[in-house]
Amino acid sequence: MAEPYIVERSAAAERQTLVTWLSVKGRDMLDPCRRQYAVGIYTGYDVAPGGVKALVARENDTALRLPYHAREIEALGHRNALVLGTVVDHDHLVRSHGLAGNLRETTLQRNRFVIYWNDNANFDQNCFHYMGIRTYLLNYWRKGPWHKASCIILVLAVAVIGTMYGIAQWYIHSERSKPEQLGVSFIPDYAEGLGLDPQETMDALTGIGVKQFRLVSYWSDMERTKGQYDFSQLDWQFKKAEAAHAQVMLTVGLRQPRWPECHMPDWAKQEPKNQWQPQLEAFMTAVVQRYKDSPSLEQYQLENEFFLKGFGTCTDFDRARLISEYDLVKRLDPSHPIVVGRSNNALGFPTGQPQPDEFSISVYKRVWDAALTHRYLEYPFPAWYYGFLAGVQKIFLHKDMMISELQAEAWPPNGQPITETSLAEQNKSFNAERFKDRVAYGKATGMREIDLWGAEYWYYRLVKLHDPSLWNVAKQEFGSD
């Protein structure tokens, strides 16, 4: 007969260590498997039928032999819980689930278990499966009130995260039948700031297959002199979109994408709110009236992250103004939906007024943390978390959500301009590989309408830095390559 496997209990009973080591012929065989509170022996399919000869359970050096009959072993040999599925608490052998013999109701305290097998048995060290989680948690629970509290917190956390994940998966699966719409934000001022020709840049974007644009209507650009509107810049953008059969989401209001966020003319900055707000709404009226009949206009975005106070130079966050602007645009053009962007991209729930036709959210993954760590920071939220935000909003508000800004450009350190940042430094926060991952991340949220942020930057890298890597990824994503 071969030498036995021996599974021993620790002598330190106060630690309630059930199984600490396994040895064969005196040699330690399970270095990586040492566990406190390890419980039971599990053999699975690793024991040949008829291989186990006997189990000897010792108590105070008194052997209690529990023989197996070949017929019983043959019957058990094709079960997953083959020989010992034994569960042990801190001082008793409570029950044996797999034994066909007379150990089923045994509750004697044991010091060791010795398994003998025939020479033809096929044992493997992986056949010993330790199942001590339940015992560990029960013992931990009994230690005191703080231990109970931590257990309750753990259970609640698992329940909450599980519920969030379930809502996210429901939303992702419910949206799958809708077509994906991948677009870009396009801002001529930013293209000019990168040394590009804005019209050439937009032509290049339509040339690689971009069919969805988020355009802006900066008040500061189009009413430089009070009462005098200049729509020439926005006119050519709409003409190019119409020629390319592209769709447009037109941003209206005071707060719109890109720094300084609130684009107020210099003359209006000198006036009190009761004077500049009517002027703003008059300008918005002119914008809506001019472009509402364009075949490319798909929807409006009202303001942009209106209540976000930590970014930009905005000073007015009055909800009444936002409601007034919403009612104005709805009254002027009831046929096109209005999108309102969430002001917090990770937390909160948009319960206040106005309740738009659709919400939008901005998703940034890698930024420069100037306040605390002074290094690049990768936000830890998995893609399904944004699916959860969209899902819970759809459940309670019956409103859909899109990604209006999915970060697809570099974020230089300490607010440094892109044009003054080396290519190597830019690549630390955004490169071609991250571009691919970012698009995949956006799609994994389940939201089907996504506008990428930084299209002008891709063209800047191509034309000014002679680096086609981002442009090539864009061509692949928009189907022109």
Residues 311 and 377 in one domain: yes
Residues 386 and 300 in one domain: yes
Residues 403 and 266 in one domain: yes
In eight-state DSSP terms, residue 125 is G
- Asked which of 140, 159, 191 is the last residue of a domain, the reply is 140
Residues 88 and 216 in one domain: no
Looking at per-residue confidence, does 6 or 144 come out higher? 144
- Asked which of 119, 140, 161 is the last residue of a domain, the reply is 140
pLDDT in tens, 394-408: 999 999 999 999 999
CB 57 within 8 A of CB 64: yes
Q: Is the peptide bond before 356 cis (omega within 30 degrees of 0)?
A: no
> How many other C-beta atoms can be found within 10 angstroms of the C-beta atom of residue 117?
21
CB 115 within 8 A of CB 41: yes
Residue 358 pLDDT more than 90? yes
Comparing CA positions, the residue from 473, 452, 453, 451 lying closest to residue 462 is: 473
Residues 293 and 414 in one domain: yes
3-state secondary structure 362-409: EECCEEEECCCCCEEEECCCCHHHHHHHHHHHHHHHCCEEEEEEEECC
Q: pLDDT class for 481, splitting at 50, 70, 90?
A: low
Residues 283 and 422 in one domain: yes
100 is a domain residue:
yes
164 is a domain residue:
no
Q: pLDDT class for 345, splitting at 50, 70, 90?
A: confident
Min mean pLDDT across 265-269, 298-302, 307-311, 339-343 is at 307-311
Q: How far apart are CA 308 and CA 294, in angstroms?
A: 31
Q: How far apart are CA 77 and CA 75, in angstroms?
A: 6
95 is a domain residue:
yes
State the Cα angle at 375 between 370 and 380, rounded to 5°: 100
Q: pLDDT class for 122, splitting at 50, 70, 90?
A: very low
Residue 252 pLDDT more than 60? yes
155 is a domain residue:
no
Residues 135 and 173 in one domain: no
Comparing CA positions, the residue from 457, 460, 402 lying closest to residue 435 is: 457
203 is a domain residue:
yes
Q: pLDDT class for 86, splitting at 50, 70, 90?
A: very low
Residue 438 pLDDT more than 90? yes
Q: CATH no. for residue 258?
A: 3.20.20.80
Q: For the chain, what is the domain count?
A: 2
Residue 255 pLDDT more than 70? yes
- The stretch 203-221 carries a mean pLDDT of 98
> How many other C-beta atoms can be found within 10 angstroms of the C-beta atom of residue 424?
7
CB 229 within 8 A of CB 283: yes
Q: How far apart are CA 245 and CA 209, in angstroms?
A: 10
379: domain range? 169-477
Residue 158: what pLDDT?
A: 94
**Percent of the chain clearing pLDDT 70 (strictly above):** 71
Min mean pLDDT across 61-70, 136-145, 341-350, 425-434 is at 61-70
Distances (CA, A) of 252 to 80, 205, 328, 382, 466: 65, 23, 11, 31, 35
pTM: 0.73
State the Cα angle at 145 between 139 and 150, rounded to 5°: 75
Looking at per-residue confidence, does 169 or 115 come out higher? 169
Residues 310 and 443 in one domain: yes
Residues 107 and 225 in one domain: no
Q: How far apart are CA 62 and CA 64, in angstroms?
A: 7
Residue 344: what pLDDT?
A: 81
Residue 137: what pLDDT?
A: 66
Q: Exposure of 43 by Cβ count < 10 A (0-12 exposed, 13-18 middle, 19+ buried)?
A: buried
How large is the angle between the packed helices 145-175 and 133-141, nearest 10 degrees? Answer: 130
Q: How far apart are CA 109 and CA 19, in angstroms?
A: 14
pLDDT in tens, 31-81: 223 322 222 332 332 333 333 333 333 333 233 233 333 333 333 332 222
Residues 89 and 182 in one domain: no
Read off φ and ψ for residue 42, nearest 5 degrees. -135, 125
Residues 174 and 132 in one domain: no
Residues 116 and 245 in one domain: no
